[in-house]
Amino acid sequence: MQDARITKHALIFGVSGQDGAYLARFLLDKGYRVFGASRDTQFASFANLRALGIQDAVQTLSANPADFRSVLVAITKAQPHEIYNLSGQSSVGLSFEQPVDTFSSIGTANLTLLEAIRFLGGKIRYYNAGSSECFGNTLEPATETTPFHPLSPYAVGKAAAFWQVANYREAYGLFACSGILFSHESPLRSERFVTQKIVRTACRIAAGARETLILGNMDIVRDWGWAPEYVEAMWAMLQSEIADDYIIATGRTCSLREFTATVFKCCGLNWEEHVQQNRAAMRPSDIAISSANPEKAARLLRWRAKHAAEDVARLLVEAEQSR
Q: Which residues bind another protein (CB under 8 A)?
A: 96, 99-100, 103-104, 107-108, 111-112, 115, 147-153, 155-157, 159-160, 163-164, 166-167, 170-172, 283-285
Query: Running DSSP on this structure, what letter comes out for residue 137?
Result: S
Smallest distance from another protein to CB 151, Å: 7
- Residues 100 and 87 sit within 8 Å (Cβ to Cβ): no
Verify whether residue 154 is a known catalytic residue.
Answer: yes
Query: What are the C-alpha distances in Å from 252 to residues 41, 194, 248, 262, 294?
Result: 38, 18, 12, 15, 10
Cβ distance to another protein smaller for residue 171 or 214: 171
Query: Looking at 70, 84, 132, 133, which residue is catalytic?
Result: 133
Smallest distance from another protein to CB 114, Å: 8
DSSP state string for 219-245: T-EE--EEHHHHHHHHHHHHTSSS---
Query: Running DSSP on this structure, what letter comes out for residue 297?
Result: I
Cβ distance to another protein smaller for residue 71 or 308: 71
- Residues 68 and 76 sit within 8 Å (Cβ to Cβ): no
Verify whether residue 185 is a known catalytic residue.
Answer: no
Query: Looking at 131, 152, 183, 186, which residue is catalytic?
Result: 131
Query: Running DSSP on this structure, what letter comes out for residue 319?
Result: H
Smallest distance from another protein to CB 168, Å: 9
Cβ distance to another protein smaller for residue 111 or 238: 111
Cβ distance to another protein smaller for residue 77 or 149: 149
Verify whether residue 22 is a known catalytic residue.
Answer: no
Q: Where are the alpha helices (DSSP H) in the chain?
A: 18-29, 47-51, 68-78, 92-97, 99-103, 109-119, 153-172, 194-206, 227-238, 256-266, 295-296, 309-321
Query: Looking at 22, 84, 126, 154, which residue is catalytic?
Result: 154
Smallest distance from another protein to CB 155, Å: 8
Write out the catalytic residue numbers. Answer: 131, 133, 154
